[in-house]
Chains A and B, each alone.
Chain A
Amino acid sequence: MPSSFRATIAALTLCRASRFERRAGVETARGRPAHGIALLLTVAAVLSATVHGATGETRVPQASQAASAPADPADGGWPMATRDYANTRYSPLADITPANVATLKPAFSFRTGVKHGHEAAPLVAEGLMFVVTPFPNRLHALDLARPGAPPRWTFDPQPQPLARGVACCDGVNRGAAYDAGRVFITTLDTQVVAVEAQSGRELWRRRLGDISRGETITMAPLVVKGKVLVGNSGGEMGVRGWIAALDAASGRELWRAYSTGPDRDVLIGPSFRPYYAADRGTDLGEKTWPGEAWKTGGGNVWGFLAYDPQLDLLYHGTANPGPWNPEQRPGDNKWTSGVFARRPDTGEAVWFYQWSPHDLYDYDGVNENVLLDLPFDGRRRPVLVHPDRNGYVYVLDRASGQVLSADPFVRITTSTGVDLASGRLKYDPRTEPRAGQTVRNICPHSPGGKDWQPSAWSPRTGLLYIPHQNMCQDTRVYETSYIAGTPFVGAEVKMYTGPGGQRGRLTAWDPVSRRPAWSVEEPFPVWSGALATAGDVVFYGTMDGWFKAVDAKTGRALWRYKTASGIVGQPVSYRGPDGRQYVAVLAGVGGWAGAGVTHQLDARDPTAAKGFAAAMKDLPKPESLEGQLYVFALP
């Protein structure tokens, strides 16, 4: 089949699919899209077979078929930040291959005019590309059909500026969500806004939190079964974490589940069956805290959400307990630094597992959970793969919450392993912070072996591409006061490069054999997300402004391009209306790791930006601090 013909078919399919989806989404509130999807799946399967037949291989481990439901493997779109419910960040497009990637050229570009860290993923749907900027959270819709992709409309939610003062790690935003003709964005000042995709018209908006108490929202929402799911940020401000479901049509709040406090707040009911004994009991979200510390105890939900339609379970991590100083909160501090499986309809918790009970280092548990079907002990199991900040790649049975394996992907001095019998992380007392003492050589550092930057999974190679950092720190904790609207941290941190001398890495992890297949070192933390494509090319960006492509199988460097600013965004790949495969990424350095440059912090203070500013003081000042979208295509 000539490639031009294939492209035409794909383009046709895309157009029809999106039209279909839009109609389905608007007309039926719930349930109906599944039909459409099923239909699409059939078409897609055929197409995919033809497409993939050319390269002729299918690997054993698969992204959970069911979990990747709304994203049609053949659909060249990118409807949510991680592309699918399974969080794979895998594009089935295979035009770009190791053989031709070197010829990749910029296709078009777009300046956002905003100076914070651009951590968002551009979305592609309905022939439009949706770019949400960091604060002030403007949403741009670029018309992909027109040459140069000029903006069709721009939506400005006008968030309150003072939200910037309570955002812990630069006023970032990690992307929007597209569903059924609507784009949902979150704003730093805790609003969720629904915008009509084609027109940019505001459909509804809803404020969910109180910035004067330090609450913000930075996460990318997820739309599941007609519900927009969002959670809050603010673990450094003593904000009590929650996740809420809003009716996608009206913005009405359907349920809200807190991460701390009594069971009724956490939406723990009779169907809650955690795998491990430590998580069973009533009101543990209150009893594993001293006094009323749970009210300011963090556990925010700001990472990427995952959803398994087969099990009908929503997975979300919970962030670090507040304050960082662990001595102010003896106990396990449930339900922070862990993962919940919930029913998306009611929010009811089904199981919970705590990555870091009584977290000592700000190891949030919100990193993405990649839903896969992997062979385990000879049989295929629905699992959840999670590279945590504490330095382990966890593989959990996502039906039960059982830990199947947990293996370090970076050097760890804070713990000695995970006891699979009890599920409990075994802390190393030598690096336990104690008030008034400086504890040295804490590895990984507070942002963890890996922070928010999402991994990518390629079913073709069976590897999880983890962009991460390799850094350690010294910490001194001290007793801190909760004063609403001010930081509630109680720790001073000095960061430095970890063993090996390079601060960043892209590690290709094999979750079946439980070891890295290869690893690429970078001088700066790899703070951008990863993208895997069916063409066996993996893309990622670096903070010094390089957008890179490596061979998915070997990690061999294939191509790179220097952008005007450091890259902390999430690359995506889509098929344009012209049928070509595009790769897009936002450049615009910032985020916690880039705050020193973005906000011109004083790196002479080793604790500036909680240690990140000084550890990154050799990060070159980019040509431009403003964000810019780069889109690449083969010539």
Chain B
Amino acid sequence: MSEPPADAVPAAEAARLHATWSDPPGLLGRLASIDHKVIGRRFIATAFGFFLAGGLLAALMRLQLARPQNGLVGPDLYAQLFTMHGTTMMFLFAVPVMQAFAVYLVPLMVGARSIAFPRMNAFAYWIYLMGGLMLYGAFLLNVGPDAGWFAYVPLAGPEYSPGKRVDFWAQLITFTELSGLLEAIVIITTVFKLRAPGMALHRVPLFVWAMLVTAFMVLFAMPAVMLASTGLILDRLVGTHFYNPGEGGDALLWQHLFWFFGHPEVYFIFIPGLGFMSALLATFSRRPVFGYSAMVLSLIATAFLSFGLWVHHMFATNLPELGKSFFTAASMMIAIPSAVQIFCWIATLATGRLWFRTPMLFALAFFFILVLGGMTGLMLASVPLDLQVHDTYFVVAHLHYVLIGGAVFPLFGALYYWYPKMTGRLMSERLGRWNFWLFFVGFNLTFFPMHQLGLEGMPRRVYTYPAGLGWDGLNLLATVGALVIAASVALLLFNAWRSARHGEPAGDNPWQAATLEWATASPPPRANFDRPPVVHGREPLWEAPREPRHVKGLATDAREVLVTTVLDAQPDHRAGYPDPSIWPFVSALATTVLFVGSIFTPWAAVWGLAPVAIALTAWFWPKPHETDAHLRMERAPR
């Protein structure tokens, strides 16, 4: 496999392709870029930036809680800290980073020239970035949201959250919703229509399946929170009564809407994690994951079930008992598809040939942490027990076990795994192991004691606690653990920064993995594949090559992609592909003005629309030379 392929592309053709798919030069060109790899890299870097910011806030909170009656942070700032931490991690890191990886990887993994709706993809990124910067800008100006990432009304409502803090939060939700929904459409379309010929649905890599399922979940869950946050901002700004029990609204309505989104949201963080796991385990076990169909069905089942258990966040409210029992059952039953996947992976490990590299270590840690988090999840699903541990540190422990164990560990593994593809260089293995072990130890040190703290009665979201209740030691331990995590993350950053220059050159396929992204250069050329591959099985790079190996006939002097059918990925037609454009960026700017303006006046929804309309018109305005080029390439079907 190491020898150059027999049908190597002539250098001239490669150069032409490169020129065709390149971005225009200069700063403007960068802003105009619609290359999914560029956008994906930016997306990932931005998400990690927010991860660091959110982590810093968490570290501050842990320092405040290190000892009882600590005076480092007052209640006002603390409320902003935990709100910003939760909001950042959920809306600005966990969901976007998964979509970011998808933006980078999915087109490569399905063997596509690029991503579907590339300008929309760029627009989604810019919106996300601007939303995040808006939130942090507000935070720095002391306009940081302070009603919790869940923003329960009436505390987050107009009467008890004066000023504009919660409005910035609600508008951030609008930003991330918009970005998330657009990305979901982009990913779904890419997976459905731009797969390499031959990659029928039953040959789609598990990671791509996970991202597809996630995208569908986003599509169904996000509108709920979009409604909810729009209602909130209308209540606050216009004086509507969605959540005002005094005028026919309901404070509990917010909780239903929020958790109808909020619980699936946990799964659209977790399911991509499962995708990472499958990718990593296959490569480092040197075999395909056992039980492909079971895995896919489990993903889909998880997605469906995840919409049926939002009420377990609300057991302490006064709801009918029968309903609660139903949600107990649903919350427990969702463990089954996850269990199936875990068992399949164990079977994979047991029958594989294990290669313990850093990505694999992160993947293996998943088993310990996620299974533990899953167990506490079962406990939280039980109504009576939840009534004791709900809103205590037990839940804090649980959710970090599930989200960090289920998503961040695989994510770090994924970073180590795909870093060479993105940069062409491997990350340092030695630093990676240090990184892993520090993270693993620090994580457990921080969060395991919180189980005990919660059972011993420590509620969440308290900026301090009295001495003498038996919480002091465990809190200190947790703070020490948090510092260890901080050290570990610093190491990761250092590793990434250093390896970008000094890392070992990776080559096309440093892990000898099976999926299509490794079939091209590292980092991949502008057009992804000099010749788009044709697929004959689930593990295209592991299977013996079969003819035809490549797609032929796509234009090289104009942007053109091959569109295939949804189920069997039969070549369907060639489609012209958009050129880079500055307008998505301008549109995002205009949208930002609209969104931020509507924090202060509802009229922004009127005058703010004008620039958005202008930018969108310019974006979609047919350019004669593009139309001509596409017409030139048109051929009658033979």
Contact = CB atoms under 8 A, between A and B. Distances in A.
Interface of A: 436-438, 476
A476 B248 CA distance: 12
Contacts of B246: 436-438, 476
Determine which residue in B245, B246, B247 has the highest number of CB atoms from chain A within 10 A of its CB, and name it.
Answer: B246
A437 B245 CA distance: 7
9 contacts: A436-B245, A436-B246, A437-B245, A437-B246, A438-B245, A438-B246, A438-B247, A438-B248, A476-B246
Given A436-B245, A437-B246, 5 more contacts: A436-B246, A437-B245, A438-B246, A438-B247, A438-B248
A231 B248 CA distance: 41
Contacts of A436: 245-246
Contacts of B247: 438
Q: Main SS of chain B's interface residues?
A: helix
Nearest to B244: A438
A437 B247 CA distance: 9
A580 B255 CA distance: 75
Contacts, number: 9
A476 B244 CA distance: 12
A438 B248 CA distance: 8
Nearest to A476: B246
Nearest to B248: A438
Nearest to A492: B246
A385 B403 CA distance: 74
A436 B247 CA distance: 11
Interface string B467-506: 0000000000000000000000000000000000000000
A478 to B, nearest CB: 10
Nearest to A478: B246
Contacts of B248: 438
Interface in B220-257: 245-248
Contacts of A476: 246
A311 B246 CA distance: 51
A438 B241 CA distance: 13
Contacts of A437: 245-246
A325 to B, nearest CB: 14
Interface in B267-286: none
B248 to A, nearest CB: 8
A556 to B, nearest CB: 44
- The 7 A-B pairs of least Cβ separation, nearest first, read A438-B246, A476-B246, A437-B245, A438-B247, A436-B245, A438-B245, A438-B248
A284 B245 CA distance: 37
A222 B245 CA distance: 47
A502 B616 CA distance: 55
A609 to B, nearest CB: 19
A436 B250 CA distance: 12
B418 to A, nearest CB: 54
A114 B247 CA distance: 39
Interface string B16-48: 000000000000000000000000000000000
A437 B244 CA distance: 10
Contacts of B245: 436-438
Interface string B434-463: 000000000000000000000000000000
B459 to A, nearest CB: 24
B463 to A, nearest CB: 28
A491 to B, nearest CB: 12
A476 B246 CA distance: 7
A562 B248 CA distance: 43
A436 B246 CA distance: 7
A437 B246 CA distance: 6
A476 B241 CA distance: 15
Nearest to A438: B246
A621 B271 CA distance: 69
A607 to B, nearest CB: 11
B160 to A, nearest CB: 14
A476 B247 CA distance: 10
Contacts of A438: 245-248
